Amino acid sequence: MSAGENEDAIERAALLLALRQRGLRDPQVMRAFEQVPRELFVEPAFRRQAWRDQALPVDCGQTISQPTVVALMTEALELKPAHRVLEVGTGTGYHAAILGHIAGHVVTLERFRTLAAAAARRLAGLGLSNVEVFIADGLLGYPAGAPFDRIVLNAAVAEVPPALFGQLAPDGILVAPVGPPEGTQVLTRYRRGIEGLERRELSLVRFVPMLPGVAAVL
């Protein structure tokens, strides 16, 4: 093992320990984090920081979220192998890979063609044939695949778009960072119950804003 690989192994072990110390208890989620090589999903310039618990910049002005936030969001979804999941904001495909190791089928939407194409290559390289990447306006969701058992937003919204709530199955869960696009948001979980949507605030977070439409060039 090279010095770089040894350093990666140490930082990876430290990150997994940090996830446990922060209360991550779902064995499926922990197993997914162990299986997905985060170094494949970061830019080459940040390769040495791949296993640190921090957000990192990626192409098109986007970010790959810090692992502890991804873990919190994933655990809040209460995923099961039979679930169909809609992810809005593919980015590099890292969160989609985590989801794909747990859920039966994942549809992930990205507005930037460059990011979508690169993510699709990474996911295919990992053998995650149950994850489909589409170029689409995430604010509109993916009606052709609805309803979804779980929906997760990887970008901030002032309010969750009605179209996404409309694609959530009965007893479904939606997790999103809700709040001012340029400020601090509240990671919020919604569950569709018999009497309507049940709302629960989870944590303060900072995400890039969700933008409408499909990017014209990138």
In sequence order, which residues have a C-beta less than 8 Å from that of residue 191 and are 6 or more positions away? 171, 172, 173, 174, 197, 198, 200
105 domain residue, yes or no: yes
DSSP letters spanning 74-117: HHHTT--TT-EEEEE--TTSHHHHHHHTTSSEEEEEES-HHHHH
Helices (H), the chain: 3-21, 27-35, 67-76, 94-100, 113-125, 162-166
Out of 24-33, 181-190, 194-203, which region has the weakest mean confidence (pLDDT)? 24-33
Provide the pLDDT confidence category of residue 217 given band limits of 50, 70 and 90.
low
Please tell me the predicted confidence (pLDDT) of residue 57: 87
Give catalytic status of residue 203 as yes or no: no
- 106 vs 34: CA distance, rounded Å: 19
- 79 vs 111: CA distance, rounded Å: 25
72 domain residue, yes or no: yes
21-55 pLDDT per residue, tens: 877 878 999 999 989 999 999 988 888 888 888 88
217 domain residue, yes or no: no
CATH at 160: 3.40.50.150
* Coil vs helix vs strand at 11: helix
186 domain residue, yes or no: yes
Domain that holds residue 48: 3-205
Largest interatomic CA distance in the chain? 57
Q: How many domains does the chain have?
A: 1
124-168 pLDDT per residue, tens: 999 999 999 999 999 999 999 999 999 999 999 999 999 999 999
Choosing from 2, 65, 129, 203, the catalytic residue is 65
Average pLDDT in the 80-88 region? 97
66 domain residue, yes or no: yes
Residue type present at position 58: V
Residues above pLDDT 90, as percent of the chain: 70
Work out whether strand 84-88 and strand 63-64 pair parallel, antiparallel, or are unpaired.
unpaired
Closest CA to 208 of 63, 29, 24: 63
Q: What is the DSSP letter of 182?
A: T
Closest CA to 86 of 42, 29, 144: 144
113 domain residue, yes or no: yes
Please tell me the predicted confidence (pLDDT) of residue 163: 97
212 domain residue, yes or no: no
218 domain residue, yes or no: no
